[in-house]
């Protein structure tokens, strides 16, 4: 596993703990199908909340939230609807969120959560 994969998995774990503290219930992590992968699938009790998680080990590569392209978020939406269909939750709404994490050298992790991207 590469360093970026390790950082990504660590970031997803931190994001899940944060989302749970915000009252969400995590239903799945790293769910894959032919149309893509969902980093985190959760619910807020009303709707399905799918979170794309972006991590950076410092500020040298830019803002982690800027790494999510419109094409990637469209793929996440399509994959979220497939997850919903495969789990027979057709009447449940879907929200796509973005969680960005940055670990600056020698500093604490910075997390930003953008709802409904």
pLDDT of residue 63: 87
Average pLDDT over residues 78-104: 94
- Give burial (CB, 10 Å; 0-12/13-18/19+) of 7: middle
Average pLDDT over residues 71-99: 95
> Does the domain formed by 3-114 have CATH 3.40.50.1010?
no
Nearest to 51 by CA among 73, 81, 21, 78: 73
pLDDT of residue 5: 81
pTM exceeds cut of 0.85: yes
The domains of the chain are located at: 3-114
């Amino acid at each position: 596993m590469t360093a970026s994969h390790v950082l990504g998995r660590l970031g997803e774990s931190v994001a899940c703990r944060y989302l749970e503290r915000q009252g969400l219930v995590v239903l799945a992590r790293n769910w894959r199908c032919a149309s893509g992968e969902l980093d985190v699938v959760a619910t807020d009790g009303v709707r399905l909340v799918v979170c794309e998680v972006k991590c950076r080990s410092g500020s040298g590569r830019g803002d982690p939230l800027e790494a999510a392209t419109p094409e990637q978020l469209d793929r996440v939406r399509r994959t979220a609807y497939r997850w919903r269909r495969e789990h027979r939750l057709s009447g449940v709404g879907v929200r796509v969120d973005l969680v960005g994490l940055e670990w600056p050298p020698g500093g604490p992790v910075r997390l930003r959560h953008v709802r409904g991207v």
